[in-house]
Amino acid sequence: MEDLTQEDWAEQLAQDEKAVVLDVRTDNEVADGIIPNAIHIDIYKGQEFVAAIEDLDKSKNYYVYCRSGNRSRQACQIMEQLGFENAYNLEGGILDWEGNIVDF
């Protein structure tokens, strides 16, 4: 797991052919918009979250974000425990995001 600044996260994401963007916010938060092409899996769903994460392709690189960066850091740690080698946390979350946001 690695914490990346907004700039580093966006730059690395743009150049990564194996990138998957993962939004771990709640349904209500996602209703305000989502980073384009993100997969939404709510970290507050507990075991349902873990089961959904386990179904993901571990050979991909995951760029994870939430509202402020705390839950996404937890999600990255969970992913690491489940055997994911490349999970990147967006520092500051979507609150600090300066890139595109689309309706979910």
Active site residues: 66
What is the rounded CA–CA span in Å between residue 54 and residue 70? 21
Residue 42's closest CA among 18, 17, 16, 72? 72
List Cβ neighbours of 55 (8 Å cut-off, separation of 6 or more).
none
